[in-house]
């Protein structure tokens, strides 16, 4: 039996994207649709945003806001958060997933901010990701929202939109982030994170994307497009009754 020839290892090809012309049109349309994009997490300072984003892992913004309104009213600085203590933080965030571990991280990051950063939220990704409970996504959100850096934090919504549209396909959030960094035109990078996350949250939904009202549908690779339910009969021809 002859052995089948082995394939020589070659360079991995980058996933095919939409190309610069369509990418430009997508961001222009998203910007026109939402001219002033911003996070839906409620915050009053860089510190409260940092805590809110850290709490939002595996939780909704609505749920986080409901919990943090009372929390931030009494603890809006690292010093006040430490004074409240882990149990005190836990009491306020029990409605959020993984609340025990998150309460522990909030106290730990508050302590580190005081010990190493003079109580201020650092500006760099390297410093931010050293804080307990703060990963790359959280750091990117804080850098973008607070410090105006053109970072793109890839959550489930951005991951979905990037892959469905063909804007920046990838198998992991890091791959998608790298792709978006590469293809997003400079003038759209500051708002790209917000446009994509809001589009995924309200239009390009996980189970049933609302393609009929999508402003970027004509350039999107997703197929088949979801039709407008108001123009589609909900029931087809009635099935014949079974004979007794």
Cis (ω within 30 of 0) for the bond into 224?
A: yes
- DSSP class of residue 56 equals T
Which entry of 8, 12, 155, 244 is annotated as an active-site residue?
A: 155
- Residues 196, 30: contact at Cβ < 8 Å? yes
Distance in angstroms between the alpha carbons of the first and the last residue of the chain = 61
Phi–psi pair at 154, nearest 5 degrees: -90, 110
Rounded CA-CA distance 206/216 in Å is: 16
Angle at 27 between CA 191 and CA 126, to 5 degrees: 35
Q: Which is the catalytic residue, given 76, 102, 137, 221?
A: 137
| H-state helical runs in 76-207 | 78-92, 99-117, 125-128, 136-145, 156-165, 173-183, 189-202
155 is catalytic: yes
* Angle, CA 52 vertex, CA 51 and CA 55 arms, to 5°: 85
Q: What are phi and psi of 123, to 5 degrees?
A: -95, -20
127 by Cβ neighbours in 10 Å (0-12 / 13-18 / 19+) ranks as middle
Does residue 76 have an active-site annotation?
Answer: no
Report the catalytic residues. 137, 155
């Amino acid at each position: 039996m002859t052995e089948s020839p082995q394939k020589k290892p070659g360079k991995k090809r980058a996933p095919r994207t939409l190309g610069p012309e369509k990418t430009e049109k997508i961001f222009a349309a998203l910007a026109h649709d939402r001219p002033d994009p911003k996070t839906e997490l409620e915050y009053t300072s860089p510190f409260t945003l940092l805590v809110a984003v850290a709490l939002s892992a595996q939780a909704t913004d609505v749920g986080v806001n409901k919990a943090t309104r009372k929390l931030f009213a009494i603890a809006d600085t690292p010093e006040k958060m430490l004074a409240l203590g882990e149990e005190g933080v836990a009491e306020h965030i029990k409605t959020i997933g993984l609340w025990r571990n998150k309460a522990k991280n909030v106290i730990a990051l508050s302590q580190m901010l005081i010990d190493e950063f003079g109580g201020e939220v650092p500006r760099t990704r390297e410093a931010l990701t050293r804080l307990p409970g703060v990963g790359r996504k959280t750091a990117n959100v804080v850098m973008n929202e607070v410090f105006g850096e053109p970072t793109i934090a890839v959550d489930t919504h951005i991951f979905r939109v990037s892959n469905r549209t063909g804007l920046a396909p990838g198998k992991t959030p890091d791959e998608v982030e790298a792709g978006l960094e590469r293809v997003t035109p400079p003038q759209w990078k500051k708002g790209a994170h917000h446009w994509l996350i809001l589009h995924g949250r309200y239009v390009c939904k996980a189970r049933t994307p609302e393609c009929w009202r999508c402003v970027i549908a004509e350039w999107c690779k997703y197929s088949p497009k979801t039709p407008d339910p108001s123009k589609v009969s909900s029931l087809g021809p009635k099935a014949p009754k079974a004979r007794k």
